[in-house]
Structure 1
């Protein structure tokens, strides 16, 4: 009976017994290109027998400890390899012209995984106009050997992704925006591929970027505003919530969209979360915690503006402004509870985890500065605490400062003019003097 026909258990017994016989060679399994590969690659299993004098062997391959031999070649190739090919492989050899038999090799594990693309952002997903940001795409923790493509999510439910016009700029795995603009607001995904062999990943996880406007002078505003009623970022459950996009002209060209905590991108007019839609206005008559997410306005051409983070909570909420607060303005915060009359609670107020005011029905900062920017929340000893809300503070160049700068320039201009005239006169006098001297000679 051939040894290759013996049950694998008996071969293991013979293997242990032959360890004391130094003249019996041992088989060894090698896997190329690696023991851990991606689905779609070409993988080669090779069985080598150590020992002098053995020139021709018959090879027997075993997988996962099973008794049956699935191959008798020295090299067994998977092209392409699939997840079902993963397992523990061992081999055994017998001389074709001789009586020697090798020891059974040690088992070597082949792992086959589906290549997964993952995207992350650096330094953060919430940005102000002009901030730099980089989207980083990797396949199972590595960016080498892959070519990357970048997309924005048009509709998550239909799996509709739009390839970025400058997607090739991020082919190396990093898609960098040196100066973020309002139009960069959106939800991004990446995908990777290789040429040899041809392997594609699925689309990555979604990664949002939210770019907020910076007001730099009086009268300068984004092209559209997201109006929220009630006008706050935190809301109770089981109440009505209305959102609308307003601009200086025809507001019907805008639509309200949202990105939920579950990673879904939804359109107000085509989803179930809004019970009423009219033009650019969406009304949700019965809110739930699933309505928590980022809401924004999108134009007909697909540009995104004015993202606002909205949370829906069943308990205590913090009443805070929707829009960034301008330096010098007054900021008022309140702690509200849906089951008390009036809803205002006497509570403690925190900024970035530190207590800043205790036992008050409202916290007022009369002149806001950039130092007041941060995460705020309120806490009641019996009702609990609210979620955290980010309060953004934006600077504004006042008209007085502009007029002061202009007046300073106008004040200096006469002196500059007189100086230029004097220099010119001196130059003309010097030239005239030189010409007279040459004439007299």
Structure 2
């Protein structure tokens, strides 16, 4: 059998497998990018170490690739930025790939979430949580000065307002609130070579999330004036933000404050063949019973139009 005939036979075999409904391709899994040394916000000349893994399939022999702003920059499980420079600032993601014994013989994981690395070439750097906080968690911000000299004064700002003057470099909020979300920066004064030096950091945004966001009630097709006899799907969109997994959100739907049936674990409520009495003001409530949390949505006015 010549090479061409062999190739045709292989393609026919693969086509036969697909036609029989057999798909040997594994379900895609996500890569995970983590910081295993240093900080995501660092001075130039310092080090940070990033590690890639595939936690959903840890026993396989994965190979890894790192991308900076979407461009391949390294092929390694651990990516070590030694003596980092400003041009290495950017968004890092990683991806795994492994060989298979069957078609398609090679598979890639889904890319990881972003790790945003900021390499600062200045004198003062504000280090703060790079991931969103959840209310009641501790919020710590650190105003660092290159080479750690003796600090004389540190000023912290939120927006254009000075919120604290102190000698310590750390500012701690023991229990963060939604009001603590915002843009922060700091200004430091220090003593070096018997001279006073002063500089300020770049601004940095701190995000604080509610445990359960206020729901947004919408209609799936966006039509708030449905024709009589049509189907309307209400959607109650919310977000549960907790470090623990497995909590269930209960949804309640109301028309003119009248409950439309029992609670549901679905974020949609369908009204089949709407009638005139379905006209009204709709709201929904999201509730997490075990956490004693509940939030109400906006009001949505729905008017059923006659069919002609």
More strand by share: 2
Larger Rg: 1
Higher relative contact order (CA 8 A, sep 6+): 2
